[in-house]
Amino acid sequence: MAIACVDWRQADETDLAALYAAEIRRWSGSLGWDTAASWDQIELGRRLGTVSGLLAVDADGAIAGWTFFLLHGDILQIGGFVSASDATTAALVGGILSSAIAARAQAVMLFAFTDAPGLTDALMRHGLAVTHYDYLSKTLGPEPACLCGDVRPWCEGDAAAVAALLATAYPGADPARPFAPQGTIAEWREYVGQIVTAAGCGTIMPGACFVVPRGSDRLAGAVLVTTLAATTAHIAQIAVDPQAQGQGFGRLLVSAACASASAAGCDRMTLLVDGRNRVAQQLYEASGFVEAARFVSAGSRQPVRLTSVAAAGAAVVRL
């Protein structure tokens, strides 16, 4: 079946409202994440022309998929991605990467649910590095506090030290990583700043954030926690310095975060873990987390250009 990709600025606002509502239900139902305010911002960006998007329409005029994307600095960031078939996925990926916005990008980054048929294959065909992230969830009950002398509450003055810790814990570039893909300290500082001040990954919950000091201006470990909904807390980032691993700091930080979130009235703690990070997966499994969803994360170190025609049966319209 032929698939045509059209600019979402041509879409009926009623159709878009239905698409947003479906995503709000999906994120809330499976992840406990209230994303309504985020979709309001995305719709505002659509109207202002700062957020681009495509609708995939079949021969009968029905919407078979959609996506949105924007240029952040020199990185093309692809947000929501919904598709009903391999052909729809191929058309959307091709449409994004052949857009005028993609032509100005120096790298590509995508983070989306894994349920779009053929998404991993389509991304890899265009030269993107791909990995998967598991979204884990734990039901919180009365959690025993287990703070010790090694752990203290986080404060805003720790932001620079947290960025330095993350750069040490995740060394080098990783194009498939959905944060700081080049691994520069500037990227890590921007990333920590977004967690602390922005709402894209929830609202910072200072009372559930902790650090393990290592000298006057260094950290051996840290956990940053946000709230995604009234009763859902989220470990936005946790890291332990490689030289301090094996001392139980990861377990202490997870336990402290869960205990504090529970005391604040949260009944669920969630987090994302790289599917390649077996050590972290074992820690979370031992701490009582279970898989709630999976995401695909993809990126490139250099511009990705559409070098061949779209998949058979898919027509792509440039923005």
pLDDT at 147: 63
Other CB atoms closer than 10 Å to residue 143's CB: what's the count?
A: 18
Q: CA torsion, points 138, 141, 142, 143, in degrees to nearest 10?
A: -10
pLDDT at 146: 62
Q: How far is CA 65 from the centre of its chain?
A: 20
| Top-confidence residue, 135 or 313 | 135
Whether the Cβ atoms of residue 252 and residue 244 lie closer than 8 Å to each other: no
Q: What is the CATH number of domain 138-294?
A: 3.40.630.30
User: Quick one: tokens of 302?
Assistant: 């250099």
pLDDT at 261: 96
pLDDT at 95 > cutoff 80: yes
End-to-end CA distance of the chain: 22
pLDDT category at 88 given cuts 50, 70, 90 is very high
Q: Coil, strand, or helix at residue 232?
A: strand
- Please state which of the four CATH numbers 3.30.70, 1.20.950, 1.10.10, 3.40.630 is assigned to the domain occupying 3-128+300-316: 3.40.630
Let me know the angle formed at the C-alpha of 127 by 125 and 130, rounded to the nearest 5 degrees. Answer: 90
pLDDT category at 76 given cuts 50, 70, 90 is very high
pLDDT category at 144 given cuts 50, 70, 90 is low
The rounded mean pLDDT for the chain is 89
pLDDT at 311 > cutoff 50: no
Q: In Å, how far are 165, 292, 300, 312 from 182, measured between CA atoms?
A: 16, 29, 10, 35
pLDDT category at 240 given cuts 50, 70, 90 is very high
pLDDT at 305: 52
State what percent of residues in the chain have pLDDT above 90: 76
> Considering the entire predicted model, what is its pTM?
0.86
The amino acid at 70: L
Burial 228-252, CB ≥16 within 10 A → b, else e: bbeebbbbbbbbbbeebeeeebbeb
Beta strands in the chain (DSSP E): 3-7, 52-58, 63-72, 75-83, 107-113, 129-139, 152-153, 203-204, 210-213, 219-229, 232-240, 268-274, 290-299, 314-316
pLDDT at 316 > cutoff 50: no
DSSP labels for 134-184? Answer: EEEEEE--SPPP---TT-EE--GGGHHHHHHHHHHHS-S--TT-SS-TT--
- Domain coordinates in residue numbering, the chain: 3-128+300-316, 138-294
Burial 175-189, CB ≥16 within 10 A → b, else e: bbbbbbbbeeeebbb
Fold: same for 3-128+300-316 and 138-294: yes
